[in-house]
Structure 1
């Protein structure tokens, strides 16, 4: 193996640039030529590829987003598009690949690996929905962003004696809501993994108001329902003025936390080690604070488990 490629696909996540930097520099250190593939699998199909050097990744470890840019590619999922991607890899002499992204990106990596191109996947997604890994790159930065927003919203909610429903990302996984809700001291946390009762949320708000509490923060994962419907129900049932804040894509941006930079750097370097050892079809992750790699097929089969104990703790501490 002489030349490796690197791409980022799907939604961007803080820490992707730190991982790119690690792959490029560890690759060059180990004697590889490293080719950057812009705009994910779409860029691979279209040959949007250039050679990277040490200077290519200077001053990016602290930056959010992805310098390689990202795009979703429906064409890559077709037989014609996939064959074109493989042809482009051959034309550019790329005989190893590192891909950064979430579940869909890892599935693409699996298919390329099955086509006899050594491929390593690095989990980068703020949703933290890769079941085989404790955490994904970008998750804790997103959590910090939400916690900061909760603090600011609490200030103004207290000033006006309001409740506020804060909608965060997490269509199928409620980890952002759970972790940020606990760290931010939210009174109620609504996630897709646990059925919620609007009357319980309202009861807690009324009890808080009766003991003199001037605010009530509800963190809602987007996959549960419409934040405005929840807000309307709370206001109708309690009489408490209730507002909605949808944080949206602000959660994907910003400088990555030191933790995300560290695990991204370690995974990027590990990816090069695996390719150097001739391994393929491996998904990197973190378990018990150690970087692990496992068969990508097995990794994709692991269902995400919800930390119900942490959820119960939030309910106890928010009485």
Structure 2
């Protein structure tokens, strides 16, 4: 559906251009019509006799896509009773419009179809300008009166773009005035270019405002996250400098540590990182030393955190701890 919507105008233009004809003078007082994309094929030739049927199918496709959207939306939203799923499926068509103007995109597609048909099948430039001006004028009136967009800025941008197109087509009719001099045509061209450039500047202003607000919010969020991260890092560094590593004591380790203490002096405290599982104890060791692991399925010690300032037991710095050999760990 998204690809069909995106290529809608291109498909209509290509399909109708293939079927369009152009009149050429082949002799004095004699004109013949040829296919516009291939001048070797006369429009009255047998190879082009199905052009009318092809044109009808192309126009049917142009009106059929908007009609299919309206029918599908009403069927899913009304007959099936699935408004949430319907809105999610057709969001690329109804997004940005008020709920009561969910069909507005279909009207825009029909307007595009009319403009393509005007350009392809009307060869007279002046008549093309008139038809295009009338089409865009009607679209401008409907946009201003109904204001279908959900945001006022959207309505203003849409109305401004339609107004610029309508004014450009209106002033372009002056080129067909017989009394129009070349200097006047140049002045008119400059005025039309300035009007178009002014519209582009206004569009940029409308686009800059929401982008500036969005970027401001993102930058404020990034600064806030950076500040929180810096504060948390500083807090951890201060705690580490004041208290050092957290120390835990196990009664079982306190009783059994003298069994693998070589010099007979039982260590009062063992620094323990964390319990990987109920049956696994990870013992930390100084940097570069070997860390030991004890496995005792039947032994599940309970650790308590030691307050170094209030506990009477002497604190053994980390660098004085010895790593445990496999033989010593097996005795646990």
Question: Fold-level match, TM-score > 0.5?
Answer: no
Say which structure is richer in strand.
1
Say which structure is richer in helix.
2
Higher relative contact order (CA 8 A, sep 6+): 1
Whose Rg is larger?
Answer: 2
